[in-house]
Amino acid sequence: MRRKLFYIIIVLFVTACDNISCPLNNTVECKYTFCDEDGTAISIADTLTVTAIGTDSVIINRLVNGSSMSLPVSFYAPADTIILTFTDTLSRQATDTIWMEKTSTPHFDDPSCPIHMWHTISAVSSTHSLIDSIVILNTAINYDGLENIQIRFITD
């Protein structure tokens, strides 16, 4: 009886070890930060709503005083398009669109873990209603949570 109990405990222990190899922080998102024309961090006073082309969902709804945003990235599309809608206190709206071209690569941490897609940014462009320029700081979109893109706004 003790021998069976010992083997059951060993089996449970070994199968539990499989889950240890999967990282807990496994969210793959592109991090955008907001800056002025010189690259100094700023907060957006206007209300920001973010949507993505190809979905019917609002990704960010009415962000106020935000200084950054982390957005999911499509798995297989070669480019993602997001629409930023700014609404000021007088209900005036301005819209900018950002296009991000990328390559996607499947990433395995361990055979027992689910697959994740890691991405490499190849180019970013935008319209220029409120956006002055876009700067790529880190082309790798993975688990690290580092700043990938700076959105530099016109601040005059």
> At residue 14, does pLDDT exceed 70?
no
Would you state the structure tokens that stand for residue 110, as one six-digit string? Answer: 């361990």
| % of the chain with per-residue pLDDT over 70 | 85
Q: Model confidence over 48-97: pLDDT tens digits?
A: 999 999 888 899 999 999 999 999 999 889 999 999 999 999 999 999 99
Number of domains within the chain: 1
Mean pLDDT computed over 134-142: 96
Q: What range defines the domain where residue 76 resides?
A: 2-153
Please say whether the beta carbons of 30 and 139 come within 8 A. Answer: no
Average pLDDT, the chain: 87
pTM value?
0.81
